[in-house]
Amino acid sequence: MANEDKLTNVARYVEGDMEAGELQAFEVLLREDSELQALLTEYKEIHQSLKMKIAPDARDKALENTLNELNGKYFRKEGKTMALNGYLKWISVAAVLVIGLLVWAPWSGGLYEKYATGREMSVAERGTGAEQKIEDAAALYNTGDFSGAAKILAPVYQSNPERAMVAYYYGISLIENNQEQEARKVLLKLYEGSSVFKYDALYNIGLSYVKEKNNKEALVWLAKIPADDNNYAQAKELIEKLK
Amino acid sequence: MAKNIHTDQRFIVGLVNNDAVIINDIYKRCAHKIKSWITFNNGSEDDAADIFQEALMDIYRQGKYKSLELTCPFEPYLLLVCKRKWLNQIKKRSILPVTNSEEDLLHIGEDTFAQADELEDQARQSDLFYSAFEKLGARCQEIISWSMKGEAQEKVAEALGVTYGYLRKKKSECMASLIKMVQSIKTEE
């Protein structure tokens, strides 16, 4: 059999295009012909490699989502900075200091403010449509406008509650807007899932009770954080202070 | 002699199973190292994020489809894969690296190099197969894409406006042309 015929037959064999009799004869030939065996291996290799590239399956996409979320967490997207001139620059510096003091509020001594996490919303994915909305929300979130961020994130969350990154920042925005109960619904769902924000959500459920001065409930939730999680050390410290 | 699989194989398994805790652990251990190495070598943080994700996807594919068995520790392996990817990128973009790559890689075991080589070969092969696919006629590309996406053949035939029998025959022919194209590219190289 010429190489070309062999190739066509291997393709027809793999693609299930052979009739029963032909198939049987081909399998007999395959057992004896090492060149045919090599062709079959090459065929499968090319088929599989190409399939990964042009037709990723649901699991491939799921992993990509996980990596996108983690990229947002561990790599900060570089934002564009605006150049400011002269006294405007100093006014901005002063304003940032004042806002900083208000957020930090050392005089209030609030444990919630002190132990709050996730104060920077990073968006790793770039795109248009819903992605653009998320970027807009991130811009507001990062300046401390949680009410503005929540307004944008609410419909994005409703249309796809499975999207962990959106759920997480939406949850925190709600806590900041004194909608703790609503926030806990969102965060609890996240905690019950298996995304990378699972324990971040748990930590923030605990914090939402701290904010409401419900130390008893806060302790229950914070104690659930496993020892190998990022939030553990901070949660442990907070637990000591709440006791 | 049987391969000695390293205990860090758990990271490969974690990637294949999309295990959020294990993957988070990978980021916790390695992301900042790659970030500082790439930004030190004239890349941006976005570049670092892209390279890191690409490397993990390559390793995942190798684990899922080629049963990758790790015989070296995972961390230096991933770092080496990322560094090589970035060095290739900057060569394409004509940026000069800051790090002397030889010196930088002195403390990495032979096994790690071998496994990174293997991964690189696979990625190169995959690019080659794709370039062969792109050289096929539009009709063949369409038929192969549809069938790889796992759509029912009857549906594909209807969408392409051909009969089921024609589609089956054409699909085998297209795949045979693809393999022939790969073989001829390989001979040219």
Shared domain for B120 and B70, answered yes or no, is yes
B106: contact with A, CB 8 A cutoff: no
Q: Backbone phi, then psi, for B78, in 5-degree steps?
A: -65, -40
Which of the listed residues B128, B148, B166 is the one where a domain comes to its end? Answer: B128
Which of A35, A36, A63 to mutate to probe the B interface, most B CBs <10 Å? A63
The whole-angstrom distance between B1's CA and the closest CA on chain A is 24
Residue B174 maps to a domain? yes
Residue B144 maps to a domain? yes
Residue length, chain B? 189
Shared domain for B147 and B105, answered yes or no, is no
Shared domain for B144 and B83, answered yes or no, is no
Total-model pTM: 0.57
Shared domain for B96 and B175, answered yes or no, is no
Of A7, A51, A77, the CB nearest to B180: A7
pLDDT score for B105: 57
Tokens of A205: 């459920």
Which of B10, B172, B178 to mutate to probe the A interface, most A CBs <10 Å? B172
Residue B76 maps to a domain? yes
Residue B120 maps to a domain? yes
Position A73 pLDDT exceeds 90: no
Shared domain for B179 and B141, answered yes or no, is yes
Which of the listed residues B128, B149, B177 is the one where a domain comes to its end? Answer: B128
Band (pLDDT 50/70/90 cuts) for residue A82 is very low
How far apart, in Å, do the first and last CA atoms of chain A sit? 82
Shared domain for B25 and B45, answered yes or no, is yes
Which comes out higher in pLDDT, residue A208 or A231?
A208
- How far apart CA A9 and CA A18 sit, in angstroms, is 9
Which comes out higher in pLDDT, residue A104 or B39?
B39
Q: Which of residues 140-169 of B touch A (CB under 8 A)?
A: 144-145, 147-150, 168-169
Of B45, B148, B176, the CB nearest to A50: B148
* Single-letter amino acid, residue A21: G
How far apart, in Å, do the first and last CA atoms of chain B sit? 34
pLDDT score for A85: 44
Shared domain for B54 and B71, answered yes or no, is yes
Shared domain for B151 and B113, answered yes or no, is no
* Single-letter amino acid, residue B33: K
pLDDT score for A10: 93
**pLDDT over 90 percentage in chain A:** 28
Shared domain for B41 and B117, answered yes or no, is yes
Shared domain for B73 and B164, answered yes or no, is no
Q: What is the pLDDT of residues B142-155, one digit of tens each?
A: 999 988 887 788 88
Shared domain for B101 and B141, answered yes or no, is no
Q: What is the mean pLDDT of chain B?
A: 87
Position A139 pLDDT exceeds 60: yes
Band (pLDDT 50/70/90 cuts) for residue B33 is very high
What are the extents of the domains in chain A?
3-55, 86-242
| CATH code assigned to A86-242 | 1.25.40.10
State the total domains in chain B. 2
Q: What is the pLDDT of residues B103-162, one digit of tens each?
A: 555 566 777 888 888 888 888 888 899 999 999 999 999 999 988 887 788 888 888 888
Q: Which of residues 154-193 of A touch B (CB under 8 A)?
A: none
Residues of B in contact with A198 (CB under 8 A): 20
Shared domain for B119 and B144, answered yes or no, is no
Span A179-196, average pLDDT:
88
pLDDT score for B178: 95
Beta-strand ranges (E) seen in B90-170 are none
The whole-angstrom distance between B133's CA and the closest CA on chain A is 8
pLDDT score for B16: 95
Find the Cα–Cα–Cα–Cα dihedral A43, B112, B34, B62, rounded to 10°: 20
Residue B2 maps to a domain? no
A194: contact with B, CB 8 A cutoff: yes
CB-based contact A50 B133, cutoff 8 Å? yes
Find the domain containing B156 and state its range: 136-188
Span A119-147, average pLDDT:
74
**H/E run at residue A128:** none
Question: What ipTM is given for this predicted complex?
Answer: 0.80
Residue of A51, A50, A44 lying closest to B126 (CA atoms): A50
Residue B39 maps to a domain? yes
Tokens of B182: 């790969």
Tell me which range, A142-146, A159-163, B38-42, is most confidently predicted by mean pLDDT. B38-42
pLDDT score for A91: 60
Q: What is the pLDDT of residues A210-220, one digit of tens each?
A: 988 888 899 98
Residues of B in contact with A2 (CB under 8 A): none
pLDDT score for A108: 42
